[in-house]
A and B are shown apart, each in its own frame.
Chain A
């Protein structure tokens, strides 16, 4: 099956700085890459996703880039705020399957210092 690696495991930034989280995947057939944010004690919630037919997607301060050749994708958060502090998970789908199985990275604990 798919293998998703996520780095770094922890990330601390000053408020207003940018944060970048990187993931790699192993299966070139994967075509859907969501990112989830999990606040302490809460459920993982989708914040942005990208499909393999595009290289970049933006939503306000959040952007995701995808490099299919290198099989890696990244989450970029600009102008970070303390409320961005959470665990972020990347994921990749199962060989383009319509069954919807996702393979998750181990997560990145992002801390934004005021």
Chain B
């Protein structure tokens, strides 16, 4: 099993640009979670899906953030337009109702 796959692993962009983060969950897992991790705020849940349906997006910081899960094997988190305060590590995790398995993360730097 390849585990949760995320791409890109690192992203450097300029303020105002669109950023798209991608995630492939573990096959057979029906829940997918997007987290943001910073020193100041720790590990924050942004949004999670169950069976491809968004269940709770209350953690999405503002309208600049959007997430989709078009099928069971793919999800995206988009930031448009990006701002320097969006700089963080973004983790995707998947589960089948219990243990969550994290991807390697995307380290985002917005200049």
Residues on A close to B: CB < 8 A?
32, 34, 36, 42-46, 49, 89, 93, 98-102, 104, 106-107
> Which residue from A46, A49, A100, A106 sits with its C-beta under 8 Å from B96?
A100
- Which are the 3 A-B pairs with shortest beta-carbon distances? A100-B95, A43-B102, A100-B31
Alpha-carbon separation in the docked complex, A110 to B102 (Å): 21
Residue pairs across A and B with Cβ atoms less than 8 A apart, 14 shown, are: A32-B98, A42-B104, A44-B43, A45-B102, A99-B48, A99-B97, A100-B31, A100-B50, A100-B98, A100-B100, A101-B31, A106-B42, A107-B42, A107-B43
Give the residue name and chain of the A residue nearest to B104 (CB).
Answer: A43
Asked if A104 and B103 make an inter-chain contact with CB atoms under 8 angstroms apart, the answer reads: no
Q: Beyond A98-B97, A104-B43: 13 further Cβ-contacts under 8 Å?
A: A36-B102, A42-B104, A43-B103, A44-B43, A46-B99, A49-B98, A93-B98, A99-B97, A100-B33, A100-B98, A100-B100, A101-B55, A107-B43
Asked if B104 and A89 make an inter-chain contact with CB atoms under 8 angstroms apart, the answer reads: no
Identify which of residues 29-56 in chain B touch chain A, using a CB-to-CB cut-off of 8 Å.
31, 33, 42-43, 45, 48, 50, 55-56
Alpha-carbon separation in the docked complex, A93 to B97 (Å): 10
Q: Which residues of A contact B95 (CB under 8 A)?
A: 100
On whether A99 and B91 interact (CB within 8 A), knowing A43-B103, A43-B105, A45-B102, the answer reads no
Give the residue name and chain of the A residue nearest to B91 (CB).
Answer: A43
Give the residue name and chain of the A residue nearest to B58 (CB).
Answer: A1
Q: Which residues of B contact A100 (CB under 8 A)?
A: 31, 33, 50, 95-98, 100
